[in-house]
Amino acid sequence: MVDYRDVRVFVRDGRHSGTAYTVTVWASGSGRYSLEEVAVEGLPVAKIAEGARYASLDEAFDAGHARSREIIEG
């Protein structure tokens, strides 16, 4: 079951502009959020190791978007 999913397109001048990616975040019963995976168009899904928990959904998505940019920019 997926709790929250955000799909975006990487927009920045350069060869990777227009690359789509998805960030998946799960909510725990205790009100914390965990970054589950990031999926970049054309690459295998990157599962995120357990451990990082976030106090807000925004924090979890910020971490996921940052990880996606790292993967895209290589």
3-state secondary structure of 28: coil
Q: Is residue 36 predicted with pLDDT exceeding 80?
A: yes
pLDDT on residue 60: 92
Q: What is the percent of the chain where pLDDT is above 70?
A: 89
Q: What is the dihedral of CA 58, 64, 65, 69, to 10 degrees?
A: 160
pLDDT on residue 2: 57
Measured between alpha carbons, how far is 37 from 5 in angstroms, rounded to an integer? 10
In which domain, by residue range, is 17 found? 4-73
Q: Which residue has the higher pLDDT, 14 or 46?
A: 46
Q: Is residue 69 predicted with pLDDT exceeding 70?
A: yes
Q: Which of 16-20, 27-31, 47-51, 55-59 has the highest mean pLDDT?
A: 55-59
Please give the tally of structural domains in the chain. Answer: 1
- Tell me the pTM: 0.78
